[in-house]
C-alpha cells in the first residue's frame, strides 16, 4: 500500500490512535487535531496526557474495544499493539486502513519543507529539546515532536506555524526508515535493541539507510569522532557536516571551562568563533548536543547568536538529570539512562559537582538489553560510592529465567563496586532515608518506574 499522505485525506477525516496515551502517539494525535482531523483514541487508562488531548477536542476511550474504531478512516498503532487486540481485529474485519506510528509520523514530515530527524543510540530527547530551545529562540516557530516532556512547550508536542518540523527518529524496528528528513542528525551509533537488530553491523546499516534518506535534498549532521557513524556514512557521497570536541570537525567545541559543574565553550567553524555558549545542563555529552544543535541552526541560516542564547536557556527535560528535591540535606536527581554509555555519561556529569557520597539506584530495562550489554553494565558504575540495583523492568518482555539483577549485582561487585541488590522499592526507600547524609547526591536511573523512588523519598522528607 502507498505511503500515507495527509493531503489525500478529507478535512475532518476520522483518525483513531490505539495507545493514544503514549508519548509519541499523543504527540501525533495533537498534530492531527491541529490539522483539523477528528481524533479518537484508546488506552488502558486515562492520564494527564489523555486529559490534555480531551481538552483539545479528542475523544479518549479507557480500555480497548472493537466499538472504538467504528467509523474510523485511519487507525494508527504502535509495535506494542499485537494482532489479538480487538481494535486491530475490527479494522481487519471492516477493511479499515491500519498505519503504524512511524508511517504516520513520516506522513507529517512530508507536509514540511524542512524536516529534521534527530537519531542516535543516545541523546535523542535531550538534543531535540535543546534544538527546540534554539529554534524558538531564533523565532522560527517550528512544530516539535518529543519523546519526553519539555516545560518550554508544555509537554511533548508543539504545533508551529512555519514550514519547519523537528522530531526524534528512533532506530528500533527500523522505524526511522519511514521518515522523510531534509536534515538527518546522528548523535552516535552503538549496540542496543539487540532483540531486533542482529549485531552492530546491522545497526550501522540501518543508520546508513536513514542517512541516505537525505540524498539530493539535504544534509547529514553527525558526530565526527564516532567510528560507527563513519562506517555508516563511508562512500555515501552525502552532504555531511561533522561536529565534535576539539579540532578537525566542521563545528568544533573548544576552549571548554567549567563553573559549578556546568560547561562553557566556543563553537568554532572554519577557524573562527561562531558563538560562545554557557550551558545550564551538565556533562560532556551536552557539549556535543549543543554543538550538534548549533550546526543544525547554521544549516537553516538561523541567527546563531539567538540560537546560542536559546541553547543556554535549556535546563533539561523531565527524567534527564532532573532535580527532584532533597533528602536529609542531600540532592535527589532522576535520569532516564538505561544503556552503559548513558550511565557513564550521567555519572561523569554528576562528578563535576561537589558532593560527599554519590549514590545510584539503577533499574535495568528489559532482560534482552541487560543480557546483551552485560559486560558494559558491570563496568559502568566504577565512580559510584553506593549502588543499589532494583529488579529488571520487563517492559514488553517476559523473564528469560537466567538474567537477573541479583546476578548483575554479583558481577558488578566483582569489579570492586559497593553494590546491593534490593527487590522492593519500599525497602530501597527506607535504606536511602536512613543512610543518605547532607552533601550526598542520590541518582535514580533507568527507563522504567524507578523514578517513583526519588519522588517518594523527596515527598516524605518534606523537601521540594
Catalytic residue numbers, as ranges: 124-125, 168
Q: Which helix (H) or strand (E) holds 420?
A: strand 419-421
Secondary structure class of 201 (helix, strand, coil): helix
Alpha helices, DSSP H, located in 78-118: 86-94, 101-109
Backbone angles phi, psi at 42, to 5 degrees: -140, 155
Per DSSP, the chain holds a count of helices (H) and strands (E) of 15, 21
Q: With both helix axes pointing from N to C terminus, report the angle between 23-34 and 101-109 in degrees, rounded to the nearest 10.
A: 40
Would you mind telling me the total number of residues written for the chain in this entry? 464
Three-state SS sequence of 125-167: HHHHHHHHHHHHHCCCCCEEEEEEEEHHHCEEEECCCCCEEEE
Contact 220, 154 (CB under 8 A): no
Distance CA 324, CA 332 (A): 6
Distance CA 157, CA 386 (A): 37
Alpha helices, DSSP H, located in 173-303: 200-212, 227-233, 284-299
Backbone angles phi, psi at 147, to 5 degrees: -95, 10
Distance CA 37, CA 13 (A): 5
In the block, residue with C-alpha cell 545542563: 281
Alpha helices, DSSP H, located in 175-254: 200-212, 227-233
Backbone angles phi, psi at 125, to 5 degrees: -65, -45
Distance CA 289, CA 123 (A): 8
Backbone angles phi, psi at 142, to 5 degrees: -80, 160
> In the numeric block, which cell numbers belong to residue 15?
483518525
Q: With both helix axes pointing from N to C terminus, report the angle between 304-312 and 124-137 in degrees, rounded to the nearest 10.
A: 130
Amino acid at each position: 500500500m502507498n505511503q500515507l499522505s495527509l493531503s489525500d485525506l478529507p478535512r475532518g477525516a476520522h483518525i483513531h490512535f490505539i495507545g493514544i496515551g503514549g508519548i509519541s502517539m499523543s504527540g501525533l494525535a495533537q498534530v492531527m487535531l491541529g490539522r483539523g482531523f477528528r481524533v479518537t483514541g484508546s488506552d488502558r487508562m486515562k492520564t494527564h496526557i489523555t486529559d490534555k488531548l480531551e481538552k483539545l477536542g479528542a475523544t479518549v476511550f479507557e480500555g480497548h474495544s472493537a466499538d472504538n474504531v467504528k467509523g474510523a478512516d485511519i487507525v494508527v498503532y504502535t509495535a506494542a499493539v499485537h494482532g489479538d487486540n480487538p481494535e486491530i481485529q475490527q479494522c481487519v474485519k471492516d477493511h479499515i486502513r491500519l498505519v503504524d506510528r512511524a508511517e504516520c509520523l513520516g506522513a507529517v514530515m512530508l507536509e514540511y519543507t524542512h524536516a529534521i530527524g534527530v537519531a542516535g543510540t543516545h541523546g535523542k530527547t535531550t538534543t531535540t529539546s535543546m534544538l527546540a530551545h534554539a529554534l524558538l529562540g531564533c523565532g522560527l516557530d517550528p512544530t516539535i515532536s518529543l519523546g519526553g516532556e519539555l516545560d518550554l512547550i508544555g509537554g511533548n508536542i508543539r504545533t508551529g506555524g512555519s514550514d519547519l518540523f523537528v522530531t526524534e527518529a528512533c532506530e528500533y524496528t527500523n522505524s526511522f526508515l519511514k521518515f522523510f528528513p531534509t536534515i538527518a542528525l546522528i548523535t552516535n551509533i552503538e549496540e542496543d535493541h539487540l532483540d531486533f537488530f542482529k549485531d552492530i553491523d546491522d545497526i550501522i546499516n540501518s543508520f546508513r539507510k536513514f542517512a541516505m534518506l537525505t540524498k539530493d535534498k539535504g544534509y547529514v549532521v553527525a558526530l565526527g569522532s564516532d567510528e560507527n557513524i563513519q562506517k555508516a556514512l563511508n562512500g555515501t557521497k552525502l552532504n555531511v557536516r561533522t561536529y565534535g570536541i576539539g579540532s578537525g570537525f566542521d563545528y568544533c567545541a573548544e576552549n571548554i571551562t567549567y563553573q559549578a559543574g556546568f560547561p562553557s565553550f566556543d563553537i568554532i567553524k572554519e577557524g573562527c568563533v561562531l558563538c560562545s555558549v554557557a550551558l545550564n545542563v551538565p556533562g560532556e555529552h551536552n557539549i556535543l548536543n549543543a554543538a550538534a544543535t548549533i550546526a543544525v541552526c547554521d544549516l537553516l541560516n538561523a541567527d546563531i547568536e539567538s540560537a546560542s542564547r536559546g541553547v543556554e536557556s535549556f535546563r533539561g527535560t523531565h527524567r534527564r538529570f532532573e532535580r527532584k528535591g532533597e533528602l536529609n540535606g542531600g540532592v535527589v536527581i532522576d535520569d532516564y539512562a538505561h544503556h552503559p554509555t548513558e550511565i557513564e555519561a550521567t555519572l561523569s556529569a554528576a562528578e563535576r559537582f561537589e558532593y560527599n557520597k554519590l549514590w545510584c539506584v539503577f533499574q535495568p530495562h528489559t532482560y534482552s538489553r541487560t543480557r546483551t550489554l552485560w559486560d558494559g553494565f558491570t563496568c559502568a558504575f566504577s565512580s559510584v560510592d553506593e549502588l543499589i540495583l532494583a529488579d529488571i523492568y520487563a517492559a514488553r518482555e517476559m523473564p528469560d529465567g537466567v538474567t537477573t539483577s541479583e546476578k548483575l549485582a554479583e558481577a558488578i561487585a566483582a569489579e570492586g563496586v559497593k553494590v546491593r541488590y534490593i527487590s522492593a522499592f519500599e525497602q530501597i526507600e527506607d535504606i536511602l532515608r536512613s543512610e543518605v547524609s547532607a552533601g550526598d547526591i542520590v541518582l535514580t536511573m533507568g527507563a522504567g518506574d524507578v523514578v517513583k523512588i526519588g519522588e517518594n523519598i523527596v515527598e516524605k522528607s518534606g523537601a521540594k
